[in-house]
């Protein structure tokens, strides 16, 4: 991995058209961890006014993969599970904080907490865990 790993990781994120469409931002990236955020806009809401679960799943998937990639290099998601704990509502941004639980040469198990950010307030709304594999 290059010396400036945050810039390298942000370039990787920038090559993902879907991430660009969501205005996703990689806020932190270091060995064993990653933080990814998305601004909440009306187009991301479902019929009850909550952020759509697919947006939370996107954040979990990408944050888990970036965390795993921080120790494996270029990586992809093998699988992940998400638990929706409470509706993501009244949010300015969503923040996914992912960490590596354990890793080997080709895979890493990671976990991720997703928070609703409203001003300075941070509320947990979802939790995920997944397996990340080194890309071929």
What CATH number is given to the structural domain containing 105?
Answer: 3.10.129.10
Express each pLDDT in 102-112 by its tens digit.
999 999 999 99
Helix, strand, coil percentages in the chain from 3-state DSSP, rounded to 5: 30, 45, 25
Running DSSP on this structure, what letter comes out for residue 88?
-
List helix spans (H) across the chain.
5-14, 17-21, 53-72
The Cα–Cα gap between 46 and 53 comes to 8
The boundaries of the domain holding residue 54 are 5-134
Q: pLDDT tens-digit profile of 29-77?
A: 999 999 999 999 999 999 999 999 999 999 999 999 999 999 999 999 9
Residue pair 118/76 in contact by the 8 Å Cβ criterion: no
Distance CA 94, CA 82 (A): 15
| pTM, 2 dp | 0.94
How many domains does the chain contain in total? Answer: 1
């Amino acid at each position: 991995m290059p010396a400036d790993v945050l810039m390298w990781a942000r370039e990787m994120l920038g090559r993902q058209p879907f991430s660009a469409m969501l205005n996703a931002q990689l806020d932190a990236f270091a060995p064993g961890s990653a933080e990814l955020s998305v601004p909440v806009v009306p187009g991301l809401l479902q019929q009850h006014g909550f952020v759509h679960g697919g947006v939370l799943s996107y954040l979990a998937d990408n944050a888990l993969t970036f965390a795993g990639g921080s120790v494996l290099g270029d990586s992809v998601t093998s699988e992940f599970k998400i638990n929706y704990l409470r509706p993501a509502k009244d949010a300015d941004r969503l923040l996914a904080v992912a960490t590596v639980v354990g890793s080997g040469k080709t895979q890493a198990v990671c976990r991720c907490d997703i928070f609703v950010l409203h001003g300075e307030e941070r509320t947990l709304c979802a939790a995920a865990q997944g397996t990340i594999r080194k890309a071929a």
